[in-house]
Amino acid sequence: MNTIAIEDSLGLTVCNKQQIAIERGLGSYVWDQEGRRYLDFTSGWGVTALGHSHPLIVNAIATQAAKLMQNPNSGFTYSPVRSRLLAKLQDVLPDGLHRVFFANSGAEANDGAVKLARKVTGRPIVIAVSGSFHGRTLSTLSLSGGRDNAARYLPIVPSNVFAPFGDIEALAALMSDQVAAVIIEPVQGEGGVQMPPAGYLQDLSRLCAEHGALFIADEVQTGFCRTGSFFAVGAAGVSPDILTMGKGIAGGFPFAAFAVSDAVAEGVQKGDHGGTYCGNPLGCAVAETVLDFLQNNKIADRAHAMGAMILQRLESLPAQYPEQVRVLRGSGLLIGIQMHSDAQVAALTSACLHRGLIVTPTRNGVLRLIPSLLVSEQEIDEAIGLLCSALTQLQAEYGQLSVAKSA
């Protein structure tokens, strides 16, 4: 199956979609309108962390919806389920993050974090890194390292500056008493599952502390067990001043949050942040259910073990398909297959879809595997079989092309 271009009334291509309409899902599988089954190794970009239509999530939505979906007077009244979620988050958040603000999406959480960082410090500059992606609002897009995206909508924002990812010396050279914050993904998602060098996050945290700047960890994709620990910064042994959360926090329900240190919270006043749907009872009920499940079933340990299994079973791909696969990398169940070009990623994505496997094409010539945190060993074997079948087909086609060129 191929992607189809959708045009607006002016004839301009506005998006590309895979030629497939998904009607329902259960666990790691989804079905299209014709009833064909697909193995989903995208989890909606890491959102459906417990798989599709998990009964606990379905029940949490139905139960809470029958009680209350939105508080009267929105955030001016309390909600028991919101209170419970706030208390339970304290059990998993990194040390020192005692205040939580809720949001509707990861981009909104990052937007709020950056806004409050500037307000609290009274400084204008925010440092981001190349290859980063923090959302599609005007603010977060201007801090995302893919300038090809931002340039379509934004002028260059002088107070937003970029350092090369993983280069602590370059970042140090940008630090000054005008820097409000440094925002970074502990593992880059859209940038191609890029892993920071050893000690990088610790050095970054130290630099921020030395210069009075805030360290913002964007864990929208990496949080809630995705990388094999509850939060990636926890595994690195660092505690940011602000941590943003989204995607897997509510297993598919639109919900997000960001947590701040007491020092940051002291600079936040009434009216500085809020939103009509932020922390609504329905979202809180789902997030509470997901959080309980992740903790009670040791899902972080499970994600670590299953991710290691996938990488071990894929380790021969660069040698087996050298014209396509360059290297593998990942953490937990966030895995990247580095290929030679974006065109190869597109071809492999299409070939996988044709076989019944849905994967995530990513910029910088990377194909991402982001399965459910509950993916089974049998489903992993099935996915690898379909992936290798697609690679074998494409390898043969590349070989034929090479012969034709040499003839």
From first to last of its 407 residues, what are the pLDDT tens digits of the chain?
A: 444 444 444 444 445 567 789 999 999 999 999 999 999 999 999 999 999 999 999 999 999 999 999 988 877 788 999 999 999 999 999 999 999 999 999 999 999 999 999 999 999 999 999 999 998 888 888 888 765 666 666 677 779 999 999 999 999 999 999 999 999 999 999 999 999 999 999 999 999 999 999 999 999 999 999 999 999 999 999 999 999 999 999 999 999 999 999 999 999 888 778 888 888 999 999 999 999 999 999 999 999 999 999 999 999 999 999 999 999 999 999 999 999 999 999 999 999 999 999 999 998 999 999 999 999 999 999 999 999 999 999 998 876 544 334 33
pLDDT in tens, 323-355: 999 999 999 999 999 999 999 999 999 999 999
CATH 3.40.50.300 at 3-53+299-406, yes or no: no
Beta-carbon count within 10 A of 91 CB: 9
Helix (H, G, I), strand (E, B) or coil at 25: strand
272 belongs to the catalytic site: no
Q: What is the pLDDT of residue 349?
A: 97
* Contacts made by residues 139-146, CB under 8 angstroms, sequence distance 24+: 139/110, 139/111, 139/114, 139/115, 140/107, 140/110, 140/111, 140/114, 143/110, 143/114, 143/183, 144/190, 145/191, 146/190, 146/191, 146/363
Per-residue pLDDT at 148: 60
User: Are 317 and 389 in contact, with CB atoms under 8 Å apart?
Assistant: no
Measured from the Cβ of residue 341, the count of other Cβ atoms closer than 10 Å reads 11
Q: Would you tell me the crossing angle of helices 281-296 and 299-314 to the nearest 10 degrees?
A: 70
User: For 160, which DSSP code?
Assistant: E
> Which residue blocks in 49-105 are alpha helix, DSSP H?
55-67, 80-89
Q: What is this structure's pTM?
A: 0.91
Token pair, residue 205, equals 């945290």
Chain-centre distance of CA 180, in angstroms?
24
Active-site residue, from 218, 241, 258, 293: 218
CA distance 368 to 362: 6
Q: Which two tokens stand for residue 350?
A: 């299409």
What pLDDT is stored for residue 276 in this prediction?
A: 83
Q: Which residue among 247, 255, 258, 293 is the active-site one?
A: 247
Give ranges for CATH 3.90.1150.10 in the chain: 3-53+299-406
Residues of the chain with CATH 3.40.640.10: 55-296
The pLDDT, as a whole number, for residue 132 is 92
- From 41, 133, 230, 258, the catalytic residue: 133
Q: Does domain 55-296 have CATH number 3.40.190.10?
A: no
Query: Computed from CA positions of residues 93, 99, 105, 109, in that sequence, does the dihedral angle turn out positive or negative?
Result: negative
pLDDT number for residue 406: 38
Any bridge partners for residue 388, and if so which? none
Respond yes or no: is residue 133 known to be catalytic: yes
Q: d(Cα 108, Cα 104) in Å, to the nearest integer? A: 7
Q: Rounded to the nearest 5 degrees, what angle is found at the Cα of 254, between the Cα atoms of 250 and 258?
A: 70
Give the DSSP letter of residue 195.
Answer: P
User: In sequence order, what DSSP letters do the residues of 237-286 get, joined into one string?
Assistant: T---SEEEE-GGGGBTBS-EEEEEEHHHHHT--TTSS--TTTT-HHHHHH
SS3 354: helix
Number of Cα atoms under 13 Å in the Cβ half of residue 129: 31
